[in-house]
Chain A
């Protein structure tokens, strides 16, 4: 099943390449505004753009390879094979995950080169760490997007509106990321804004049990400032992400199993 997706690669490669160029352009532009740390800013903005590009690619591929097939009912052909329905679903997921991994590697490599090039023009007082810390951060981002992918797949498996996986997938990506920061802000008192904390804090405290805090997978402080994440929390964050993805896939399988296509 996964091999079917490799045939799709040619058209997507252009998209990845364009996104990569945009990513680099924005990051290097941002870096040129930095008075003291152009390298760090290129890396910082680059990682933000990397995550954003991967999320776009993930929902795009779900749209192209799952939602459209369901829409056109061509999925029925795949389902006539003597395998349980969820094979198709998981096959698609793993295939896109692989595509994402390749896109991640490519974009991360481009960013890596951009950061190295920036180092030539100005000697910063603090260098970024581009070895293990960088690639660990990239892995964290890939895990983050893997969860978003699972969510988008889940929506696609049960939704009848074709645009929904893309829209909800993007929303989930933003919400999952924002949760950590917003929760921290409210818990620390929201600068004394009691009405804000009163209204939203109980709600968000409940929400964190159903929405994963994806910002915990962002370990960019390690390459940027040498602040390695605590291995225990990094481990638990990964476990949370993976288990959530598995839950979503299970939900997707159940929803898909009962679905009527014709």
Chain B
């Protein structure tokens, strides 16, 4: 009779929905608790924290989740500042989701702990350039990164870039090429696809912004909606957003990502 009950309950359970998994990133523990839970081993604690950040699915995360991820990655950076995956993930995900300070903390610690590695210093500078639109601070930081580059020609290229930033100020095309290079060096897999998709989105956005500027020049006013750019012959069609968010016009008539107006 127990067997019959078991069979029936399995059958019924199959039909009933499961309670959904807890939010991707809700739990944050104090650092010393993380250390104790890793049997005292801070490097293991750093790996665990980074692992949590790596496997979190960013598509389902809200602002609070990203704040927690920022905290988790900060902890990992404190426990093992030289952790490469941590700083790379922090640079890739955090500044784009409202966690600029957390990203810069991680990158700064990584730059200090890895004096032979120009990348954390570079991403640190880049974030000031692209996210804060502050080319002067960015250029200063970039000049700090340049001496770490081993190849002479690359070092000069980086210093040159810093001077370009000083002179020209913020320029989207430069930003895009930098992002593209960074995406191409990621190991194949979900992260790389994510980064390449983001590059595609930025390209689409830039194309729209250029079209909008051209529209303004020709017609003397800003476009009222994105379809005007299509009918005006400036773009063949509204480009698709790889992340599904879509594009829209902000109050000043500049194309932006939908949801950021």
Q: State in angstroms the CA–CA spacing of A241 and B51 once bound together.
A: 32
CB < 8 Å: which of A126, A175, A221 contacts B117?
A126
Q: State in angstroms the CA–CA spacing of A178 and B36 once bound together.
A: 6
* Contact in complex: A218, B43 (CB < 8 Å): yes
Which residue of chain B has its CB nearest to the CB of A122? B187
CB < 8 Å: which of B41, B55, B82, B85 contacts A177?
B41
Which residues of chain A have C-beta atoms less than 8 A from B89's C-beta?
35
Q: Does B148 make an interface contact (CB < 8 A)?
A: no
* Contact in complex: A35, B82 (CB < 8 Å): no
User: Interface on chain B toward A: helix, strand, loop, or mixed SS?
Assistant: helix
* Contact in complex: A35, B189 (CB < 8 Å): yes
* Contact in complex: A173, B40 (CB < 8 Å): yes
Q: State in angstroms the CA–CA spacing of A218 and B31 once bound together.
A: 19
* Contact in complex: B113, A225 (CB < 8 Å): yes
Q: Does B116 make an interface contact (CB < 8 A)?
A: yes
Which residues of chain A have C-beta atoms less than 8 A from B32's C-beta?
178, 181-182, 185-186, 190
CB A56 to nearest CB in B, in angstroms, measures 11
Which residues of chain B have C-beta atoms less than 8 A from A190's C-beta?
32
CB B86 to nearest CB in A, in angstroms, measures 10
Number of residues from B at the complex interface, CB < 8 A = 33
Q: Which of A135-156 contact B (CB under 8 A)?
A: none
Which residue of chain B has its CB nearest to the CB of A179? B40
Which residues of chain A have C-beta atoms less than 8 A from B31's C-beta?
185, 191
Binding site for A on B (CB under 8 A): 30-32, 35-36, 38-45, 47, 51, 54-55, 78-79, 82, 84-85, 88-89, 113-114, 116-117, 185-187, 189, 191
Excluding A35-B54, A125-B185, A181-B32, 13 further A-B contacts by CB distance (< 8 Å) are: A35-B187, A36-B84, A36-B85, A36-B187, A45-B44, A48-B43, A173-B40, A181-B35, A182-B32, A185-B32, A215-B40, A220-B43, A225-B114
* Contact in complex: A48, B44 (CB < 8 Å): yes
Binding site for B on A (CB under 8 A): 30, 33-38, 40-41, 44-45, 47-48, 51-52, 122, 125-126, 173-182, 185-186, 190-191, 196, 214-215, 218, 220-221, 224-227
* Contact in complex: B39, A221 (CB < 8 Å): no
**Max count, chain A CB within 10 A of own CB: residue among B41, B84, B85:** B41
Asked if A175 meets B40 with Cβ closer than 8 Å, knowing A36-B84, A36-B187, A40-B84, the reply is: yes
Asked if A30 meets B47 with Cβ closer than 8 Å, knowing A35-B189, A173-B40, the reply is: yes
CB < 8 Å: which of B30, B45, B85, B116 contacts A37?
B85
* Contact in complex: B85, A30 (CB < 8 Å): no
A-B contacts, 5 of them at CB < 8 A, read A33-B55, A36-B186, A48-B44, A177-B39, A215-B40
Asked if A35 meets B36 with Cβ closer than 8 Å, knowing A30-B47, A41-B47, the reply is: no
Which residues of chain A have C-beta atoms less than 8 A from B116's C-beta?
126, 226
Which residues of chain B have C-beta atoms less than 8 A from A186's C-beta?
32
Q: State in angstroms the CA–CA spacing of A47 and B44 once bound together.
A: 9
Asked if A48 meets B47 with Cβ closer than 8 Å, knowing A174-B40, A185-B31, the reply is: yes
